[in-house]
């Protein structure tokens, strides 16, 4: 990754993320990353990991990884599998793929051991505080009730974002903090960074957009402006 700010694009299991359509989405992200100098990560479906990792130079994350070592775990996705496929890291505990705390701890540790990046998803200030204690590389706070609504957390619930940022700074300031849920416009991204985050995690606003590259370009532009503003005020 180039650094921060960062935009993480979760492709989920949308039909737009499969096959050549998914590759195009990843390539658009790569183009915007180069044009604006903003770190952009894509998280395609597991069946697309290798193909997309071999098609772009930006980081590619898995959407989920299980807390298992290689062995008799039918249907599981191990850290070794995503690393071999070319992944640079993985989302952990997304609201649509929840995990118990002990498994989260194992996954974060295993990703670290394999030199892969962990992006832990949390839903409240309290779970963010607990998550920071596990020392993931990044945390993204996402109130699940706002996911996919088009109502951004940075506007609808700024107090949650501010609380999460403060909690992480107190518990483990080495953890990078992002936010997600309802992030749909460049303005949403800029506001998130102004609230103290280092970037955003989003999905449908990009994947299902009629002009995804244009949407992402706007987000990158707002992210840079907000980042420069916040950094200059420190």
Q: Give the DSSP per-residue string, 127-171.
A: HHHHHHTT--SEEEE--GGGTTSS--HHHH-HHHHHHHHHHHHHH
Taking every pair of C-alpha atoms in the chain, what is the biggest distance, in angstroms? Answer: 53
pLDDT of 214 reads 98
End-to-end alpha carbon distance in the chain:
23
Using DSSP, state whether 198 is helix, strand or coil: coil
pLDDT < 70 positions in the chain: 1-2, 146-148, 151, 234
**Residue 37 CB partners (closer than 8 Å, separation 6+):** 2, 224
Cα angle vertex 43, ends 37, 48, to 5°? 120
Active site residues: 94, 142
CA distance 26 to 213: 10
What is the pTM for the complete model shown?
0.95
């Amino acid at each position: 990754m180039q650094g921060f700010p960062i935009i993480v694009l979760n492709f989920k299991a949308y039909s737009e993320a499969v096959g050549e359509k998914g590759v195009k989405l990843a390539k658009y992200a790569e183009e915007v990353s180069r044009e604006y100098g903003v770190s952009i990560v894509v998280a395609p479906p597991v069946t697309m990991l290798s193909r997309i990792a071999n098609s772009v130079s930006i980081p590619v994350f898995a959407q989920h990884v299980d807390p298992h070592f290689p062995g008799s775990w039918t249907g599981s996705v191990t850290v070794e599998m995503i690393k071999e496929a070319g992944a640079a890291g993985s989302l952990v505990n997304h609201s649509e793929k929840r995990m118990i705390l002990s498994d989260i701890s194992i996954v974060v540790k295993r990703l670290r051991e394999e030199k892969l990046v962990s992006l832990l998803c949390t839903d409240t200030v309290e779970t963010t505080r607990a998550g920071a204690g596990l020392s993931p590389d990044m945390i993204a706070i996402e109130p699940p009730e706002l996911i996919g609504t088009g109502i951004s957390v940075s506007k609808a619930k700024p107090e949650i974002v501010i609380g999460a940022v403060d909690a992480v700074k107190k518990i483990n300031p080495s953890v990078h903090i992002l936010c997600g849920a309802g992030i749909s416009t460049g303005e949403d991204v800029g506001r998130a960074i102004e609230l103290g985050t280092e970037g955003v995690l989003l999905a449908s606003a990009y994947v299902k957009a009629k002009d995804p590259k244009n949407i992402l370009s706007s987000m990158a532009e707002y992210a840079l402006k907000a980042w420069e503003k916040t950094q200059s005020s420190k």
